[in-house]
Chains A and B, each alone.
Chain A
């Protein structure tokens, strides 16, 4: 019996090749898309679950409640660590201080020639770490053990890092490693690599005590008041203690030690390790990869929508097609088939098509997998097959079979045999026309939602990427440098040598690019008023050439004059306005002092507002001032005509000047584009999936119209004989669909408007939601649908009427 079903199913697939291709291509593209999204979700949601005890692990975080609202900081002050250990003896604590970027050097044979050294820049994964860390976070020790981190100047490195530095990790033990040309470390342990789905990309772990011995170089401060996001504490709670319980005690703990006289109230609390990856309140994780749950939810929703759309095609086509099967069904009933048997037969066909589609989907997904990293932060070596994806495929297969097979099966098996045999079953008597219309509306609702979403996202990202930042970001090469005295001493000669290259327009030493995610702030005093301003200011340190290099415009006054820069500051318009000064010119000549500074300086210029951060945030009050020790990085403005050649020359010069450092220059505009990496990826995701949605819904339309064309061949013939024009006929076919799309639009427009205005809230600078976007969506979807429909309709309309009538 079963064999019989599948044989018939197979023949039916072949007989109705056109519909089968439509069904299979729609389903396989849809399932492939879902499979890939599943792989992304699976990867993201698995973060930190590699630690077997992750459910009892917590991150001790800090909440600061101030006048401007609540801010979150992943760090905890250094003295809190010992205090926590005393107050909570039953809890295991471990601290680390991450370096946000360090250079590791493997010394060459010649100690006097730094050019022989092997230099490596590590953006993430370099820590000062307590040995206790490994008590609560399990790692595989390939050599040595955690006690290595008891001693100063000891370092533990991960296997692949060791291989990278020393060629073979087995030869790394006992070797010397220099860090930032400040520390000389001995390799005392090797651990296995951290898995990709860990927020702790452990690469280079220097003993915590080493940090204490170099307070200046690595900002070690044993002050309760100082809070750095680099210094983080983790805890493992004992079985009998809940996080809520500990949180309560932490309130008392914080109160006990809070001797802070500032207006900011600080509170510590526990963040479950399982939340860490998704908690966007803290900006980012130490692994530099956090993902918002909202993004994951959107992805999941898109996956479900795509599957639903593909299933709708299936339902529409099979019910429409079922009319032509009515005779077969009727005869089968007369020959003794029960309804159950007919249902199984139809489901059997569905199963065959779905299984076939899943096989193709897997092939598509496998081919697309290498490109997945363009839309999501997944590791290069991500795999398609694992227990989870297999389970997902199995469940999807079953869900799609049920979703798309049950209804047509019920319709087909419900035919009355006598009507079926007499060929009295028509599209109208099958019923389901209202349903089919509703489904088409549903499909176009989804498609238009995605189209509008895409248009808005793309427009917004174009706006953000091309926005006038208030300074010139193009062709500025940033050379991160070092502020040790030797490096600072070489600065001026380096600058002079750079300027000898005719392609170099100007060079400025600075702490920070105009737009960056740096937020180094302070309180300040204005106009000799010792009460102090009610808001903080953010600082950028730079020399006089800063303004020229970045092409700032001034609202009043000008940049530093070379003679006396230490007593001069430049502020931005936002700061002036926040102070209540109406006219920028009125601020010129007024005095200005940072909190903690001894001398007053003069405001000599007010720059027009430039974007200080990403466009997600509003412009901040800024002061630009000079302080040589902080101006470690060079900004080099280059003639755009020979970028790569000049860049190479700059690099060569840099390496000659600073042989002990690895070159890590980058172009500012590329860095700024990175601010929006997540959004740009999301915009790309929208584009791809809107494309898929349109593809699937048009496939469905195409199928329905081709079916209609077959059904109405005779009608078309008669109408043509009676004098209908080709245009009349095409209109006859398309008017219903255009109406349905119109209805879909009426639902999609407000929904999309609501959703996208929510999304735009993420940006301080955003495009307005104009009618244009919506107009484009409706015209676009109608246009595409019309093209789809009219191809088939035209074909039907152009058939010689004599031919179509004769065949009756």
Chain B
């Protein structure tokens, strides 16, 4: 599905290059469920952003569904992203100006899904996450956990082939977290959605079929189950 080869990302601090990602190579096949772990500041979010084509690596090669992302223009990347990827952000990143319903609906609008169809899909999603009652509220009126649920619902609405999740359960209680993990597993097993998640929780990481440990921008260990 995707392949990173010798990817590095650094920031110029004074005269020094400050590496956040340091020469990482990584292949992820379709249908995998990968968990990325590591201490704070080790570059997990940065790596996920690069995989999701939101951030450019400083050097290295990046292939996605066999296409060379490092050679693409912004527009092509954005088209590719739209077609394949759903993203759950660590900081939720809901649009404050939109209601829960509208937030979940937005990706469909940009993918030119017809109005009636949209309605059905959003209703289904609201149902699945048990937030029907909140659909007309604005993000500021929700708790952190609720916002996270909306963020996940929004990432899944367009039925992505690759789900990137940056600490999707960070603000959920353990029961909610478990439910989300069960959902991810189901998506992975039944619908064949490839999932890459960042997590601090050993327990959640174990839902994955592979665990990658980052330290200072390098892959410290990687084990498959």
Contacts and interface: CB of A to CB of B under 8 A. Distances in A.
A421 B54 contact: yes
Interface stretch (B31-39, B105-113, B177-185, B196-204): B105-113
B89 interface: yes
Interface string B90-121: 00011111100010001101110000000000
A331 B82 contact: no
Most chain A CB atoms below 10 A, which of B75, B89, B110: B110
A153 B106 CA distance: 85
Nearest to B55: A418
Interface in B105-164: 106-107, 109-111, 154, 158
Most chain A CB atoms below 10 A, which of B94, B106, B154: B106
Contacts of A337: 110
B95 A332 contact: yes
Most chain B CB atoms below 10 A, which of A1, A330, A336, A337: A336
A334 B97 CA distance: 16
A71 interface: no
B54 A336 contact: no
Interface stretch (A4-12, A652-660, A679-687): A4-12
A338 B81 CA distance: 12
A330 B107 CA distance: 13
A333 B109 contact: no
B58 interface: no
B95 A421 contact: no
A12 B95 CA distance: 12
Contacts of B49: 418
A107 interface: no
Contacts of B95: 328, 331-332
Interface residues on B, range: 20 to 34
B78 interface: yes
Given A4-B109, A418-B49, A418-B55, A336 B81 contact: yes
A418 B54 contact: yes
B64 interface: no
B110 A335 contact: yes
A792 interface: no
A417 interface: yes
Nearest to A327: B93
Contact of B93 (A11, A336, A338, A421): A421
A335 B106 contact: yes
Interface residues on A, range: 20 to 34
A336 B106 CA distance: 9
B54 A334 contact: yes
A341 interface: yes
Contacts of A334: 54, 81, 87, 93
Contacts of A330: 93
B141 to A, nearest CB: 14
A2 to B, nearest CB: 11
A8 B106 CA distance: 12
A336 B96 contact: no
Contacts of B106: 332, 335
Nearest to A12: B97
Interface in A549-575: none
A327 B103 CA distance: 14
B107 A336 contact: yes
Nearest to B54: A418
Contacts of B82: 336
A216 interface: no
A11 B97 contact: yes
A341 B97 contact: no
B110 A8 contact: no
A338 B97 contact: no
Interface in A506-534: none
A640 to B, nearest CB: 69
B110 A336 contact: yes
Given A8-B98, A418-B55, A335 B89 contact: no
Contacts of B109: 1, 4
Nearest to B107: A335
A15 B109 CA distance: 23
B54 A338 contact: no
A15 B49 CA distance: 31
Given A334-B54, A336-B78, A15 B110 contact: no
Contact of B111 (A8, A336, A418): A336
Nearest to B96: A328
Given A328-B96, A418-B54, A338 B78 contact: yes
A730 B23 CA distance: 50
A338 B110 CA distance: 8
Contacts of A331: 93-95
B97 A333 contact: no
A186 B23 CA distance: 110
A15 B89 contact: no
A735 B94 CA distance: 38
Contacts of B55: 418
A341 B96 CA distance: 19
A336 B75 CA distance: 10
A8 B96 CA distance: 11
Contacts of A11: 97
Contacts of A418: 49, 54-55
A710 B106 CA distance: 29
16 contacts: A1-B109, A4-B109, A327-B96, A332-B95, A332-B110, A334-B54, A334-B87, A334-B93, A336-B78, A336-B107, A336-B110, A336-B158, A338-B78, A338-B110, A418-B54, A418-B55
In the complex, the 4 A-B pairs of residues with the closest C-beta atoms, listed nearest first: A336-B110, A336-B82, A335-B107, A418-B55
Interface of B: 49, 54-55, 75, 78, 81-82, 87, 89, 93-98, 102, 106-107, 109-111, 154, 158
Given A335-B107, A338-B75, A417-B54, 12 more contacts: A4-B102, A12-B97, A328-B95, A328-B97, A331-B95, A332-B106, A334-B54, A334-B81, A336-B78, A341-B110, A421-B89, A421-B93
